[in-house]
Chains A and B, each alone.
Chain A
Amino acid sequence: MIKIENLEKVYKTEEIETTALNGINLHVKEGEFVSIMGPSGCGKSTLLNVMGLLDKPESGSYKFLETELLKLNDRERSNFRKRNMGFVFQNFNLIDELTVFENIELPLIYNKIPSAERKKLVNEIIERMNIVNRSGHFPQQLSGGQQQRVAVARALVTKPKLVLADEPTGNLDSAHGNEVMELLCELNETGTTIVMVTHSSHDASFSNRIINLKDGHVISEKINKGKTEELI
């Protein structure tokens, strides 16, 4: 589904130039669950942001179902993103002024889903995430694990083809982290493609394939046998 070739991303600040991505090649199949690992500062988040069309690389190619995404203008990028992608972040990034329900509803609004259907979809996912009795709460009133579940719910509610998760368990204790990982697995089982950045090999063990980055390069790739066989 995703074909990334020779992706390069350079950050220029006043003092220095940082090559965050240095010729990345990466293919992701539909329905795959890919983990990206590597030391801090090696370009994981940058790669994810480029994949999520939040950042523009200097050169290379990024094809998504045969569409070249790097040629899109800002508006087309926004449109593509809101229709096809969902995001989960380490620090949840819920909007504090909106309730749980409203936070989850937001992407549907941007996708111009009619109100009645929005209600239905949000309620469905709230039920699935086990946060029904929290739907009227504000993010500040929830625990970290609950917040992350809301964030996952928000990423899933539009039924995206691709979910991008940047250290989704980074701010959670192991119990809550596991809950979130199980959610992602369930999601993957229903066919959603997932690309996840993580520092934890435990989390990575849930995925089909682990990609190791260093200094903006892919240095190794490892198939997670148990998982992959399951998939087959």
Chain B
Amino acid sequence: MFKLNLKIAFRNLFKNKVYAAINIGGLAIGLTAFILLLLFINHESDYDKWDPELSKIYQIREKHDFFTPDNKQYWQEAVESRIGALTREKIPQFKHVTKVDRIWGNGFSVKIANADPIMVTDFRDADSAFFKVFPYQFVQGDQLTALNEPNTMVLKKKMAVRLFGTDKVVGKEVKVVMWRNDKGRSFKITGVVQEPSTPESVDINAIMHTGDRDKDPESISNSNYCSVYGLAGNILDTTAMNKTLQRIYVDYKKSSFTQRKITYDDYYKNGKVPGLKLVPLQETHANPPFVNGWLQKIKPVIALSIFLLLVSVINFVNLATAQSVQRAKEVGVKKVLGSYRKQLVNQFLFESAIQSLLALFISIVLVELCLPSFNAHFDVTLSFWHSNQLIGIALQLIGVFVVVTLLAGLYPAVVLSNYNPVSVLKGNYERGFKGLALRNGLVVVQFIIAVTFMISIGVMHLQTSYVANKDLGFDRSKLINIQTNYEDDFANRIKKIPGVQYVATTTQVMGNTFNVPEEITYNNQVYNVNTVTVSMDALSALGVQVVSGRIFSSEYGQDTVNTVVLNQAAANLMGKNLVGKQYDIISEKEKYTFQIVGIIKDYHNEGFDKTVIPTVYKANDLGGTSNTNNLLIRFNTSNYQDIVKKIEAEWKRLYPDFPMQYVTVEDAFQKELESSRRLMQMVVLFSIISVILSLLGLFALATFLAKRKTKEIAIRKILGASDFQIINMLNRSFLILVLFANITSWPIAYILTRKWLEGFAYRIDMPFLPFLAATVLSVVVAVFTITLQARKAAISNPVDSLKYE
């Protein structure tokens, strides 16, 4: 039986090669997208799973408004360093607590003996308890004692091999230079740890134990921020723990305020509240402090792949049921010969299983082919065969296979096995055939998806090009940002290089923004604004546009002391005719007065999803806050590669131990657009595929319809119908479906794209063109597809088909 059914299945596939190819190929494409998504989700949900102990590690988060993009309070990973000691003392459930420094700058330079410096990332300073909390496997050295001494370092194996060519490096010395003119610090390597088998949310290439993290700043009014992790003896009840933490934190804050002579109510006002909580380490990756977690981010992608899979499954169902006319006789005969209904259902399910299995194999090949570009595109390192979760993935694939088989096969199987043998054997294959309504419904669903996709492409394209061409409020061309602090000596040297127009620094530039909130009092009213410190030339270097007044200039000596420039947003907040007016900053002890000398147009330094916040610009002779790491260089020619080389040479002379790093502001801008561009590319890709699949489905369906109507067409022709009338007749039934799908997809696409647009602070009005274009396009292509098929039926000689009946 099995063998015979297998034969029937393959003979049928072979007989209907084109449809089989459309079916299997479509399903394979749908599955490919889905498998890639699965791999991605597996990868992301695999963070911090490399050791069972990790489920007992908790990250402490503190609610505060430093280092934030918009000066609002967030639950942050960077917590005050004293929280480390506090939790170690007050939370007995923690066996060990460790503090890890935040990631500073763009990496460190490592020097080994007299070799050239090497740039490395994720060398992090931790206290001596790090490896008591994080259960890394030591391949060299000892977990318990490795970090006992200050100036010791433990390397990850790959880093050890990269630096030394071997992992036998215990006892060797490395010098780490943390910024360009840091004199460097030597560490003795005391251990090498194994690369964990799953990704880690605490990125490390090396743990440095400077000793600095073992203590807190002496003066209570100084504080230091780092990450704090605690290892508990068992899994904790986070809700209960968080209540305790909150209580401890409020007590601590109160006593610290008393010492610092601040009042609690003064500190926590305007909606600011104290907050301390813990987050299981294994949940931190999915819940980053500022941005959406990965699951939130890929939600649209999940929806897209599910839609794509749906489109291909619908194709499958449609073609299988349409084809079932051909199978009616087989069903009838088999029933007469004594087959049970269940046997028939199984046979047809088995057939769709064969096809989904073929599709699955093809999709695995496709996944392998797509992975490199997928990885490059999404900046991940997924693998299929080499994945350490291969078994899990295989199980998931079996699951997907079963679901797809049932989804695609169950309905056709039921339809087929329901054929009434009596009508079938009368030669009336159409009789027992139902489900036309459902098939039409499925075509409609397919087209709703396809048209929605097309409209979305249009809207997204218009928004993306709007954003790409939007006036940023400054000139991003011919501008580079060397990621270092401003220093007069270096700045003066490069100013002398021909082609260099300005050298400046600012705390706020696209790609690296450091916001400082401030309260100002103007006309007896208090405003919350953002403060940006710039060097005298910075606004000129950026090429901002002056709305009224002037920007800073060295001609005005007082500019470095008490003058400010406002952006338009701040000006709108404060009122009219501001140039020349003064505002105050009032603290407990003193009052500072600033004069407004100019207003500039708002300029963007973050993505277009964020509004430009009201900002005051202050000039500082010394180049702004010391650790903003922005050194802007404006060239007067767009051919500045050679000039950059000269700057690099100058750099190397001054700072031989630390390589120069820079980005062009254009690149930084492109990076801001990156995420919406990626989504756009995905939508485009998925839309094209789903539109093609839908059309292929329609094509195949039209073929079957034409075939089924061969006799009707022949008779009509003999009675005098023209080819055109015949084509028209076939087109009409599908056109209604396509039009209906269009009407339905308009509101759906409208809601979806509006939601997407709302994510942009700067966006286009909902355009009408994409809606019209999608509809016209879908109708035209559908008509074309059907006509292609209908024409074949129409121009055939009617006598042939009647004779054949």
Q: List residues of A whose CB falls within 8 A of some B CB.
A: 45, 49, 52, 54-55, 74-75, 78-79, 81-83, 87, 89, 91, 93-98, 102, 105-107, 109-111, 154
Total contacts A-B at CB 8 Å: 68
Given known A-B contacts A49-B422, A54-B421, A93-B329, A98 and B336 have beta carbons under 8 A apart: no
What's the Cα separation between A94 and B337 when bound, in Å? Answer: 11
* Nearest CB on B from A139, distance (A): 10
Chain A residues with Cβ below 8 Å from B421 are: 54
Given known A-B contacts A49-B422, A102-B7, A110 and B338 have beta carbons under 8 A apart: yes
Given known A-B contacts A102-B4, A109-B1, A109-B4, A96 and B337 have beta carbons under 8 A apart: no
Closest to B338 in A: A82
Chain B residues with Cβ below 8 Å from A52 are: 336
* Nearest CB on B from A103, distance (A): 9
Contact A79 B338 (CB under 8 A): yes
- 28 inter-chain pairs at a CB distance below 8 angstroms, sorted by A residue, are A49-B422, A54-B336, A54-B422, A54-B425, A74-B340, A75-B340, A78-B335, A79-B338, A81-B336, A82-B337, A87-B336, A93-B336, A93-B425, A96-B329, A97-B7, A97-B330, A98-B4, A98-B7, A98-B8, A105-B4, A106-B4, A106-B334, A106-B337, A107-B338, A109-B1, A109-B4, A111-B338, A154-B337
Contact B15 A81 (CB under 8 A): no
Chain A residues with Cβ below 8 Å from B593 are: none
Among A55, A81, A95, A98, which residue has its beta carbon within 8 angstroms of that of B422? A55
Give B302-337 interface residues, CB cut-off 8 Å to A. 329-330, 332-337
Chain A residues with Cβ below 8 Å from B333 are: 93-95, 106
Chain B residues with Cβ below 8 Å from A105 are: 4
What's the Cα separation between A78 and B332 when bound, in Å? Answer: 12
What's the Cα separation between A218 and B20 when bound, in Å? Answer: 51
Answer yes or no: B42 CB below 8 A from chain A CBs.
no
Answer yes or no: B72 CB below 8 A from chain A CBs.
no
Given known A-B contacts A93-B332, A102-B7, A45 and B340 have beta carbons under 8 A apart: no
Query: Other CB < 8 Å A-B pairs besides A78-B338, A93-B332, A110-B334, 20 of them?
Result: A49-B422, A52-B336, A54-B425, A55-B422, A74-B340, A78-B335, A81-B337, A82-B337, A93-B329, A93-B425, A95-B330, A96-B329, A96-B330, A98-B4, A102-B7, A105-B4, A106-B333, A110-B337, A110-B339, A154-B337
Closest to B8 in A: A97
* Nearest CB on A from B351, distance (A): 11
Chain B residues with Cβ below 8 Å from A102 are: 4, 7
Among A54, A78, A97, which residue has its beta carbon within 8 angstroms of that of B12? A97
Closest to B342 in A: A75
What's the Cα separation between A85 and B444 when bound, in Å? Answer: 46
Chain B residues with Cβ below 8 Å from A55 are: 422
Answer yes or no: B591 CB below 8 A from chain A CBs.
no
Answer yes or no: B299 CB below 8 A from chain A CBs.
no
Give B1-59 interface residues, CB cut-off 8 Å to A. 1, 4, 7-8, 11-12, 15
What's the Cα separation between A81 and B337 when bound, in Å? Answer: 7
Chain B residues with Cβ below 8 Å from A91 are: 425, 427
What's the Cα separation between A97 and B4 when bound, in Å? Answer: 10
Chain A residues with Cβ below 8 Å from B12 are: 97
When each residue 731-750 of chain B gets 1 if its CB lies under 8 Å from chain A and 0 otherwise, what string results?
00000000000000000000
* Nearest CB on A from B406, distance (A): 23
**Size class of the B contact interface (CB-based, 8 Å):** 20 to 34
Chain B residues with Cβ below 8 Å from A110 are: 1, 334, 337-339
* Nearest CB on B from A137, distance (A): 13
Given known A-B contacts A81-B336, A95-B333, A45 and B426 have beta carbons under 8 A apart: yes
What's the Cα separation between A105 and B421 when bound, in Å? Answer: 20
- The SS class assigned to the B binding surface is helix
Contact B4 A78 (CB under 8 A): no
* Nearest CB on B from A57, distance (A): 12
From B334, B337, B339, B421, residue with most partner A Cβ within 10 Å: B337
Which 8 A/B pairs are nearest by Cβ-Cβ distance? A82-B338, A97-B11, A110-B338, A107-B337, A97-B8, A95-B330, A78-B338, A93-B333
From B332, B335, B338, residue with most partner A Cβ within 10 Å: B338
Closest to A55 in B: B422
What's the Cα separation between A55 and B337 when bound, in Å? Answer: 14
What's the Cα separation between A106 and B338 when bound, in Å? Answer: 10
What's the Cα separation between A83 and B15 when bound, in Å? Answer: 33
Closest to B9 in A: A97
Answer yes or no: B132 CB below 8 A from chain A CBs.
no
Contact B15 A97 (CB under 8 A): yes
Give B656-672 interface residues, CB cut-off 8 Å to A. none
What's the Cα separation between A189 and B300 when bound, in Å? Answer: 74
Chain A residues with Cβ below 8 Å from B8 are: 95, 97-98
From A74, A79, A109, residue with most partner B Cβ within 10 Å: A109
Contact B329 A95 (CB under 8 A): yes
* Nearest CB on B from A175, distance (A): 21
* Nearest CB on B from A79, distance (A): 7
Answer yes or no: B341 CB below 8 A from chain A CBs.
yes
What's the Cα separation between A102 and B422 when bound, in Å? Answer: 23
Chain A residues with Cβ below 8 Å from B11 are: 97
Chain B residues with Cβ below 8 Å from A95 are: 8, 329-330, 333-334
When each residue 410-448 of chain B gets 1 if its CB lies under 8 Å from chain A and 0 otherwise, what string results?
000000000001100111000000000000000000000
Chain A residues with Cβ below 8 Å from B4 are: 98, 102, 105-106, 109
* Nearest CB on B from A170, distance (A): 11
What's the Cα separation between A168 and B645 when bound, in Å? Answer: 95
What's the Cα separation between A95 and B8 when bound, in Å? Answer: 9
* Nearest CB on A from B447, distance (A): 31
Chain B residues with Cβ below 8 Å from A79 are: 338
Chain B residues with Cβ below 8 Å from A87 are: 336-337
Chain A residues with Cβ below 8 Å from B422 are: 49, 54-55
Give B697-747 interface residues, CB cut-off 8 Å to A. none
Chain B residues with Cβ below 8 Å from A82 are: 337-338
From B11, B333, B334, residue with most partner A Cβ within 10 Å: B333
Contact B338 A81 (CB under 8 A): yes
Chain B residues with Cβ below 8 Å from A93 are: 329, 332-333, 336, 425
What's the Cα separation between A82 and B427 when bound, in Å? Answer: 22
Closest to A166 in B: B425
* Nearest CB on B from A142, distance (A): 16
What's the Cα separation between A82 and B338 when bound, in Å? Answer: 5
* Nearest CB on B from A144, distance (A): 14
Among B15, B338, B341, B425, which residue has its beta carbon within 8 angstroms of that of A89? B425
Chain A residues with Cβ below 8 Å from B426 are: 45
When each residue 71-82 of chain B gets 1 if its CB lies under 8 Å from chain A and 0 otherwise, what string results?
000000000000
* Nearest CB on A from B419, distance (A): 12
Closest to B15 in A: A97
Chain B residues with Cβ below 8 Å from A98 are: 4, 7-8
From A78, A89, A95, residue with most partner B Cβ within 10 Å: A95
* Nearest CB on B from A13, distance (A): 11
Closest to B12 in A: A97
Give B555-572 interface residues, CB cut-off 8 Å to A. none
